[in-house]
Amino acid sequence: MTGTVAVNGEVRRLEELRLQDFLQSFFFGAGFFETLLVEEGTPMFLARHLARLRESLGAHAGCVQPPPPEVLTSEAVHEALRRCLEVDAGLGPRFTGVAKLVAGDGRLLLSFAPLPQRAPDGGVVLDTVEDRCYRRGDPTLNHKSVSYLRQYAHLGRGTVFVNEAGELCEVPNGNLFFLVGEAVVTPPLEAPCLPGIIRSVLLEAGRLGERAVVERTVHRTQVEDVRGCVLTNSVGLALAVPRLLGKELSGSHALAGQARAVVREYARRDV
C-alpha cells in the first residue's frame, strides 16, 4: 500500500490515520471492500464496484455504519482518486495499479497498491481443494467483507473452495468459469460465491465466441468433463487455469483470451 490515501474524499497520509476511526472494521470485520484495476489514472468498472458496495452496506444496515451517501458516488471517488494521484509523485496522474475501497465506521477509505506479479504465461494452477468452510446458501459469502481470513489464508495456494455437497464454488481471489460441453459454466451465487464484477460482465454478455455463458452447478466429479477454465477478478480480469485439480486443460488460454476481449469491450462502454 502506498502512503497517500483518501478518507471520505479528503486526501491524507496513511500514517495519519487513527485506529479509533476504524474500530468496528478492525475489531469485528464490520465493513466491506472493493479492489479495482486503475489504468492510466482511470478506474475500471467503478460504478459497478460502488453499486456492489452499496448493496452490501444496505444488506447489513444496523451492524455496519455506512459512509455518507455523497462519498459513495462515482463522481466523488473519481475526484478523490484524481487528487491522490496528483499530490503523490510516486503515483502520478497516469498511475496504473490497484485501488482499494473500504467502507465501514462511517468512512470510505481509498488506498493504492502496485499490480501483483503474474506467472510468465499468465496462468494459475488450481490443484488444492478446501471443502470444510463453504456451505451452500451461506449469504455472508455473497459480500466482500473485511472479515476475509478464510480466503486470505489460502491466497497463493492454488485452492478451490468446495461446498459440503462437493460442488465447486470459487477461489480465494475470484470466480471460476468452466468450459463444459458447448457451454461456459460458472457456479451460482448460492454455491456460494461472490457476485464478482467480471463474473457479472461475462454473464451479461451471455457468450464467449460461439458458446453460451450460463450459471450452473459444477460438481468436483465433473472435472473430468472440463476442457478449459478461467479465473476472473477485477485486477487480473481473466486468467487461464492450465491445470485444475490434477487435470491438464488445453482450452484455458484461448478461453481466457476471449473473456478478456469481452471484458475490455465492456470497460470501454463503461467509461
Full pLDDT tens readout for the chain, 271 residues: 679 999 999 999 999 999 999 999 999 999 999 999 999 999 999 999 999 999 999 999 999 999 999 999 999 999 999 999 999 999 999 999 999 999 999 999 999 999 998 766 779 999 999 999 999 999 999 999 999 999 999 999 999 999 999 999 999 999 999 999 999 999 999 999 999 999 999 999 999 999 999 999 999 999 999 999 999 999 999 999 999 999 999 999 999 999 999 999 999 988 6
> CB neighbours of 169 closer than 8 A, spacing ≥ 6?
134, 141, 160, 161, 162, 163, 187, 191, 192, 193
Is 120 inside a domain boundary? no
CA distances from 211 to 104, 135, 182, 183 (A): 40, 30, 6, 5
Q: Which domain holds residue 96?
A: 4-113
Nearest residue to 91 via CA among 114, 125, 66, 75: 114
Q: Do residue 245 and residue 133 come from a single domain?
A: yes
Residue 225 within any structural domain of the chain: yes
Report the number of distinct structural domains present in the chain.
Answer: 2
Q: Residue 209 phi/psi, 5° resolution?
A: 65, -125
Domain containing residue 98: CATH number: 3.30.470.10
Q: Do 134 and 165 fall within a single domain?
A: yes
Residue 214 lies in a domain: yes
- What is the reported pTM? 0.96
- Give the residue from 113, 140, 170 where a domain finishes: 113
Query: Which runs of consecutive H residues, i.e. helices, occur in the chain?
Result: 23-28, 46-59, 74-87, 149-152, 197-205, 252-270
Q: Name 101's bridge partners.
A: 34, 110
Domain boundary among 63, 86, 113: 113
